[in-house]
Amino acid sequence: MGYSQVMKEPMIHVIFRACDVVNAVNANPRPFDLDKTTLVKISFQSLLDSLQHIPHTIQVLGDKLSPGLRSFFLSKNIELIEGDFGNDESIRQSLLLGARYGDDDWVYFCEDDYVHVPHAMTYLYNFLKDPSSFMDHAQRLYTWSSFINLKNKELVIHPTDYPDRYSGKYRRFSLILHSDDCHWRQITDTTFTFLIQGKTLKQRLPFLLRCAKGANDRLLSRKLYGRFNFFGKVLALSPIPGLATHMHRDTMTPLVDWKSIVEELKNQISS
């Protein structure tokens, strides 16, 4: 079953996973010499700013938070859930929290090292009001191995535009769509930062919980997202230009002045 055909007033439930004890799960350094606590703060602030005027709820799942970061979140008047989780259990708990919401709602699972442009959630929200309307020109599409009716496909949205998608072995033949605000590219891999509809989340929950073990986003991507064959899989999309960036030096979303955005956010959280 696909997403709702028309959803004029979508509700977005944000679950933000935060941990400033661990700087990064890989060796890729952070840009602009950011320490982890500051990075978490500006990531959350950028998301919070972009949610203005968007129907939403927001929860922070805090894992071993430092006192300073805990105080920062409490000052934002949001729901803070704290624990000593570890990365795998944090992912699992976020999925279980998200599965409580309605079938027609959307859940945005967001990790603590993604910075958003100010209009990020506005573009996403405008798309989610009626996603099928942007699929009309691709309603009947044959790929090499299957027929796709895009108007009925389940969707996952990953808000970044990774630079390796433009080079070398990582380039893919992709479906390209557009909404009123931007273009959208079919993708075949994401991290655990993604937007998904409630009904899809509930249907896929056992598999997603299995992917939480070892934070296995490779399994997630290989089994969940369609490329040429869409039987039993979902359509994953990423905006062009990206609406967020993963804050590692080698994965920054291109065509956005992230340095200026980061500097403005740093000034904002320090004022």
pLDDT over threshold 80, residue 3: no
Which residues on neighbouring strands pair with residue 97, listed in sequence order? none
Residue that wins the pLDDT comparison between 6 and 98: 98
Q: What is the pLDDT of residue 5?
A: 46
Is 169 a domain residue?
A: yes
Residue 16 domain-assigned (yes or no) = yes
In a domain, residue 1? The reply is no
Q: Closest by alpha carbon to 98, among 110, 82, 113?
A: 110
Please give the Cα distance from 42 to 268 (Å, whole number).
Answer: 9
Mean pLDDT of the chain: 89
> For residue 72, what are its two tokens?
């920062």
User: pLDDT at position 144, please?
Assistant: 43
**pLDDT at residue 175, rounded to an integer:** 84
**CA–CA distance, 242 with 88 (Å, rounded to integer):** 27
Q: State the pLDDT at residue 239.
A: 97
Q: Is residue 6 part of a domain?
A: no
Residue 148, pLDDT score? 58
Q: Is residue 3 part of a domain?
A: no
Percent of the chain beyond pLDDT 70?
A: 88
pLDDT digits (tens, 9 = 90+) for 211-257: 999 999 999 999 999 887 778 899 999 999 999 999 998 889 999 99
> What is the model's pLDDT at position 156?
97
Decide if pLDDT at 57 tops 50: yes
**Residue that is written with structure tokens 């949610």 in the block:** 51
Q: Quote the percentage of the chain above a pLDDT of 90.
A: 73
> How does 51-84 read in b/e, with b if 16+ C-beta sit within 10 Å?
beebebebbbbbbbbeeebbebbeeeeeebeeee
Average confidence (pLDDT) over 11-26: 85
- For residue 177, the domain's CATH number is 3.90.550
- Give mean pLDDT, residues 8-18: 92
Domain boundaries, position 113: 12-270
Cα 73 to Cα 139: distance, rounded to the nearest angstrom: 44
Cβ–Cβ contacts within 10 Å for residue 90, how many?
23
Distance of alpha carbon 266 from alpha carbon 133, whole angstroms: 38
Q: Is residue 4 part of a domain?
A: no
Of 122-131, 134-143, 164-173, 177-186, least confident by mean pLDDT is 134-143
Tell me: the pLDDT tens digits for 97-123?
999 999 999 999 999 999 999 999 999
Confidence tier at 24 by pLDDT (50, 70, 90): low
pLDDT at res. 26: 59
With H, G, I as helix, E, B as strand and everything else as coil, classify residue 218: helix
Number of domains in the chain: 1
Among the listed residues 53, 65, 115, the one whose alpha carbon sits nearest the alpha carbon of residue 268: 115
Establish if 7 belongs to a structural domain: no
Q: Which residue has the tokens 């442009």?
A: 117
For residues 201 and 163, the answer to whether their CB atoms sit within 8 Å is no
Confidence check: pLDDT of 93 > 90? yes
At how many degrees (to 10) do helices 67-74 and 36-50 cross? 10
pTM, two decimal places: 0.91
Burial class (CB within 10 angstroms; exposed 0-12, middle 13-18, buried 19+) of 10:
buried
Residue 67 falls within a domain, yes or no?
Answer: yes
